[in-house]
Amino acid sequence: MQSYPPIFASFHQTLSQLLKLPYGDKSEDLASIIVLRVEHFLLNNAHQHFPTWSEQDIYLITYGDSIIDGEKKPLNTLNSFLKKQLKQLISTVHILPYFPFSSDDGFSVIDYLQVNPALGRWKDISAIAKDYRVMTDLVINHVSRESLWFADFVSGTQPGRDYFIEQTPETDLTMVTRPRNSPLLIPTQTRRGTRHVWATFSEDQIDLNFRNPDVLIKIVDVVLFYLAQGTSVIRLDAIAFLWKELNTTCVHLPETHTIVKLMRVIIEKVRPGALLLTETNVPDKENFSYFSHGNEAHMVYQFALPPLILHALNRGTEKHLAHWARALPEYPKGCTVLNFTASHDGIGLRPLEGLVPDNEVSELVDSMHRFGGFVSVRTLEDQSEKPYEINIALFDAMKGTRRGEDHWQAQRFLCSQIIMLGMKGIPAMYIHSLLATPNDLSGVESSGRTRSINRRRWDLKDLMTELNNPVSTQSMIFKTLKEIIEIRRKESCFHPDNPQAIIDIAPGIFAFSRTEPKTGKHLIAIHNLTHTHMKHCLKKYRNWFELLGKKPFVSDHLKPYEALWLIPPPKSYTPQSD
């Protein structure tokens, strides 16, 4: 057995132990290969140590070309917009897949190691990384059928010939969990004849075969390359589907969890403080399983939050949102959640399973249809269909309630964002929420994809016209959200690790506390989920200081969709009356 200096000996041992489950007697050799990769990385890249999270962490989710400016490269335009409009209000930029791609707005990667030339170059990514943490998607489950790896498969040459999963059409795959209605096996003409390859998401997105250890090493190389380019958060896209095993659901398998653990060990070795985020849009128990015992993902998405907030505001009730939030588990040390209300994808409905009655989900879906949205479905094992995802711009999802449209859209939308910004975890804002972008129906028409409704590409001049117009909706929402974010970043109670407790005040009010354990300092976050005035319900909080209004709270009621962040008054404060 090869001997290693102490700095790598225990690392090699950890790797080989992890690799035994998926790769058996190949684990020692694989561990040695990875150690050499890591040693080379540390010798050729400057040491970086990223700070742990704090109340100042705000993530921004955006495509590289969500804002365009004529002939300028979009990544350069994005960087300029961040510096001029957001400055230090955000800590991390999640730039959605910025690689050459063939479909799915970037999630069908042709080449992991190149920046899409239509967006810019690696130097543009590095430039953004000088001022912000950069989150990069590792589209780990599949590649584009236009990739060189798949070209190798078609021609029967190495290395890609054995990078993909082949099955015969007669194979029983009825147990496999499906996120799409497209065929699971795609017939492909190769030099060896017609082969049927596994494609979980679409005929253009061909799943990689991680049973082949060469695929694992290739992906490790990709991770190290991203870290070398300035990435400090790796997002594992569609990770739940990684490992395939016949006669199973092929989702959340032990080998998949093991590979996530492996990625964490490698990342922590080469970039202390860098983070691993898993993308698993599934019910909570399955989602939180990617924390394991604090040795797997550093973060998971809080996938139940977007549909629960939308349901609460659409129905005017805190019941299911509060019940869910009250039952949230304690996260392992060194782990937290990424809170969000919208993203490039739609609002997933699977996390509502077991939380919200089916009839109320159906009513929510009907409302979204009335507000201009779309709903995709998934096929169950019995071949029945069930709503899977709502596709709509969040701002337009707030046009009204289940009773129809009303004039409270802006207030209702801001309430949704304030809830998200206050809850335990790290908040992530989608750029089209920050900008109150409405439904992009022309984008749906031109692309033929319903998800395009929430993926508008703003022309910078048009956007700035809106943002510089003090009476425009975009200007009002953008300005208000920036002010709220600035307040949040200065409040230590909002540290991601600080406890949260649900408070019962009255029907239609969602409230919780955030407490700083070391000092005992606490904050009460209160949100009116209805279009009615809530009177005489907050007497106990009179004369507390209200952070969002920057003044003492001298009332005892809540306006429609009003949100408050209350802290006890300083001892020197003299109580006031109405």
Q: Name the binding residues.
A: 104, 142, 235-237, 344-345, 451
Q: What residue numbers does the annotated binding site for substrate cover?
A: 104, 142, 235-237, 344-345, 451
Q: For residue 504, what are the CA distances in angstroms to 357, 520, 538?
A: 22, 21, 11
H or E element, residue 48: none
Angle in degrees, CA 353, 355, 356, rounded to 5: 90
Count Cβ neighbours within 10 Å for each residue of 330-340 and write b for 16 or more, e otherwise: ebeeebbbbbb
131 annotated active-site: no
Dihedral angle sign, alpha carbons of residues 267, 273, 274, 280: positive
How large is the greatest C-alpha to C-alpha distance in the chain, in angstroms? 84
Residue 16: closest CA among 262, 279, 288: 262
Q: Distance between CA atoms of 550 and 47, rounded to whole angstroms?
A: 42
Q: Distance between CA atoms of 442 and 459, rounded to whole angstroms?
A: 14
Residue for token pair 């009476």: 471
Cβ atoms of residues 516 and 491 within 8 Å: no
Q: Distance between CA atoms of 100 and 379, rounded to whole angstroms?
A: 31
Dihedral angle sign, alpha carbons of residues 201, 281, 496, 267: negative
Cβ atoms of residues 94 and 126 within 8 Å: no
Cβ atoms of residues 213 and 26 within 8 Å: yes
Tell me the three state secondary structure of residue 185. Answer: strand
Cβ atoms of residues 137 and 235 within 8 Å: yes
Active-site residue, from 69, 237, 284, 396:
237
Q: For residue 438, what are the CA distances in angstroms to 60, 118, 393, 410, 452?
A: 18, 25, 6, 12, 12
Q: Distance between CA atoms of 274 and 287, rounded to whole angstroms?
A: 21
Residue 281: closest CA among 342, 343, 350, 327: 350
Q: For residue 253, what are the CA distances in angstroms to 43, 235, 248, 350, 390?
A: 35, 19, 9, 19, 27
Query: What tokens does 279 get?
Result: 């993308």
User: Which residues does the annotation mark as catalytic?
Assistant: 237
